[in-house]
Structure 1
Amino acid sequence: MGRLTIRARLTLAYTGLFTASGAVLLFITYYLVKRQLLAPVQIEEVSLPPGITKEPDDQIISFVERQAETYRNATLTTLLTQGSIALALILVASAAIAWLIAGRALQPLHQMTATAIRIANAGSADRGLHERITLRGPHDEVRRLADAFDLMLARLDRSFDGQRRFVANASHELRTPLALNRALVELAITRDDASPDAQRLGESLLKVNERHERLIEGLLTLAGSQAELVTWEAVDLAEVARHVVSTHTRPATHTRPATHTRPAIQATLAAAPANGDPVLLERVAQNLVENAVRHNIPEGGWIHIATNMVNGHPQLVVTNTGPVVPIYEMETIFQPFRRLGRERVGGANRGFGLGLSIVRTIAHAHGGSAHAMPRPDGGLVVTVTL
């Protein structure tokens, strides 16, 4: 019973109720008929068969009793037989009627379930929250439940929308002073009378400013990729990956020690046509390559980039060497501002913990997914499927 649907359970309950009612009615009818048949029979005149005289009276009584017993048995047998057939027909009819009634009663719940499934399959935590059930009908318990669900969706939608606007507005507001700081520092260190100490200080300030600019750019990308895509174009992931590989350069020297060598990049690029935003898809490949470079081993590391079609879906796979990563940390690395060990981001030589979070968010915006698996020898295999 626990595995049956609510509609099936209601159907069984209704059918059982109808069947029990019919069985009780048949028993009562049988009892009343039997009681009536067992009542004394008043005999006024009986036509006896040949060979039976009117004397003695016991012969007449015996014959009448036998006839009455036969009549009672035949009547009760007919009642049970035909009553059972009628009860079986009632059982079938009640099951069909109960199935229809249960389906009709559960129709609002099916509508609520379909809306919840559409929201859950939207691909992002905040996408699809604009949908509403808008259930029509009497103000009963189901209608109140649907209205409460709509109210919850409206509040969640406003909350997520306000969060996106705050991040976008804050990032835009921070861009202007950072750009002004960069211009002033560059102007100061390029002057002819700038001292070597001032130039070194200016270079350090530019590195800090660049780090802040990358943080703001990451926040903007993260906020923008969580919104609905407005650009849908035919894009080949192989061309995107080839462009990223050809234009990729080592990160700034302050992000990696000078003694580290850049890992070798290999590519196996098969055609992988997709539809989406070319700029965001390029950011996916760029973030994956930068993450693979940043978290590689100091010497002898390598990165392999592959594109192909899997079950009709374009796929981008980036594999790299690096430290051994526990499998239980796979979801942690996709969380914003989080790195391995669940520590908050910090330090000048590490990223902000936004790279893989942006990758997954952009993949979800394109109706796809992004997941990572650790290599036994160290490093990751990150797969993005659109």
Structure 2
Amino acid sequence: MTRLLKFLGFPWTIRTRLSLLYAGAFFVAGVALIVAIYLYLGVVLDRQFSIRLVNDAAPGAEGQMGAPGVLPPRELMDEAGRISVLVRQARLNTLDTMLMVSLALVGFLTVLAGLIGWLVAGQALRPLRDITATARRVADRSLHERIALDGPKDEIRDLADTLDQMLERLDRSFDSQRRFVANASHELRTPLTITRTLIEVALLEAGADDKLRQLGTTLLAVNQRHEKLTDGLLTLASSEQRGDFHPVGLSDIAGHLVTELRPIADKAGVRLETALQPGMVEGDAFLIERLIQNLLENAIQYNLGENGWVRVSTAVSGKAVELTVENTGPVVPGYEVPGLFEPFRRLASTERLAGTGRAPITRGAGLGLSIVRSVAQTHGGAAEATPREDGGLVVQVRFPAAGSHLGNIEPQTRHPPSP
């Protein structure tokens, strides 16, 4: 029955199951009652007709009965046989009529019981719908809202109070984590900034001392790498905390970052191409900007040394807005693609970098695509990567469009076109 309802597209909800349970219980009880009445009525009819036959036949048969062992006349026996047949036929007709009427009535009342059960179940499950709606709003917006369910102290009220207590603990935990991220951001970035400043001053005062300048340059590169690692870790931690989202233009942010990174791409010998269609998403502008920046920097850095290109496009697809970053570069094995979204994971072969020694992009720590996936999931979207046959990657990020009220978006398989 369950499979049949699912096959027919019937909503197999708790309300549906309760309604069917009410109707089924009523049907079983009705059938049991009909069987009991049918059997009892058969016995009653047998008794009633037997008594009536005796009373009706006794006066006429009294003077015609012979002595014991003597059969009554044939006319009297024929009349009794006909009466017996008529009695049996009348009994069967009565029972059949009762059975047909009772079954039709039970069928009608079963449907009526299902409708009444649907209404009663809807009324009983209304608090659960309120709890679900509040939990969905809390998951989409913030943890400050509470269910605060009114009504009698029953099982549903206990569930709502338990969820409120859980939300309270989660709210305090996330607030503590946000404060930790803010404090860590200040405490970690400040000494690294001071160290970078000291190294830069030391390089200015080094003069013509080649060994000292080489040491300072190496320390400066290491410090920049630590700064980028710290910034990536803090961004990754911040991306997992959903704040207040606002409508932002995905194409506007992508176009702004392409303009900013074009000089770096030109210096690395990489051509930037765009195909941006307007699309609004609900989100944090800083996190979305960081997502696109990571994709563009990776696409520029891990590219061909000559005649490389990066193609950035945005498009609206149904109730989703898609961002696609496609680039040339080294051939990426398909089995290595899922690991690219894990923290601190890089391709084993990254020796061919665009404009090696020319592009002012510090080699990352393997957090770029991890941040991309985390930001996409925080916004209810999804990120996926597909290797190109000629080398390079196609990374696609899908966000719910602003006002679409979608849930999490699953990644879709995409076959990139050849350039």
Displacement of 1:15: 2.3
1:140/1:175 CA distance change after superposition, 3 Å = same
Q: 1:318 to 1:44 in 2, by over 3 A?
A: closer
Structure 1 residue 238, shift from structure 2 partner: 5.6
> What is residue 159 of structure 1 aligned with on the other side?
173
Contact 2:385 2:393 in 1 (8 A): yes
Question: Structure 1 residues 88, 231: CA separation in 2 closer, same or farther (over 3 Å shift)?
Answer: closer
Equivalent in the alignment of 2:370: 357
Aligned partner of 1:239 among 240, 252, 255? 255
Alpha-carbon contact 2:19-2:117 (below 8 Å) kept: yes
Q: Distance in 1 between matches of 2:172 and 2:335?
A: 33
**Structure 2 unaligned runs (5+)?**
6-11, 65-72, 349-361, 400-419
Distance in 2 between residues matched to 1:383 and 1:270, nearest whole Å? 14
Alpha-carbon distance in 2 for matches of 1:359, 1:218: 11
Code of the aligned partner of 2:229: L
Q: Does 1:206 align with 2:224?
A: no
Compared with structure 1, are the counterparts of its residues 114 and 274 closer, same or farther at alpha carbon in structure 2 (3 Å cutoff)? closer
What does residue range 302-313 of structure 1 map to in structure 2 within 5 Å? Answer: 302-311=308-317
The structural deviation recorded for 1:285 is: 3.2
- Paired with 1:265 and 1:360, the residues of 2 have a C-alpha distance of 25
1:58 aligns to 2:76 (yes or no): yes
- TM-score when scaled to structure 2? 0.70
Query: How many Å separate the matches in 1 of 2:331 and 2:22?
Result: 60
Aligned residues between the structures? 362
Name the SS for the 1:38 alignment partner: helix
The corresponding residue for 1:228 is: 243
Measured after TM superposition, the shift of residue 209 of structure 1 is 2.1
Query: Which residue in 2 is equivalent to 1:370?
Result: 383
What is the CA-CA distance between 1:243 and the residue it aligns to? 0.9
Contact between 2:181 and 2:238, CA under 8 Å: does it hold in 1? no
Q: Deviations over 1:65-85 (max 9, x none)?
A: 456445434432332232222
2:315/2:322 contact within 8 Å kept: yes
Give 3-state SS (helix, strand or coil) of 1:236's partner: helix
Judge conservation of contact 1:167–1:219 (CA < 8 Å) in 2: no
* Structure 1 counterpart SS, 2:366: coil
Distance 2:254 2:301 in 1: 23
Q: Normalised by the size of structure 1, how large is the TM-score?
A: 0.75
Equivalent residue for 1:95, pick from 109, 114, 119: 114
CA distance in 1, matches of 2:345, 2:172: 26
CA displacement, residues 330-350 of structure 1 (integer Å, 9 cap, x when unaligned): 343223333347xxxxxxx84
Q: CA deviation at 1:170?
A: 0.9
1:296–1:238 Cα change, 3 Å: closer
Q: Give the match's secondary structure for 2:51.
A: coil
Is 1:25 the counterpart of 2:33? The answer is: yes
Gaps of 5+ in 1: 49-53, 251-260, 342-348
Which amino acid counterpart does residue 163 of structure 1 have in structure 2? Answer: Q
> What is the match of residue 289 of structure 1?
296
Q: Are the equivalent residues in 2 in contact too, given 1:301–1:322 (CA < 8 A)? A: no
Query: Offset at 1:202?
Result: 2.5
Paired-residue identity, % = 45
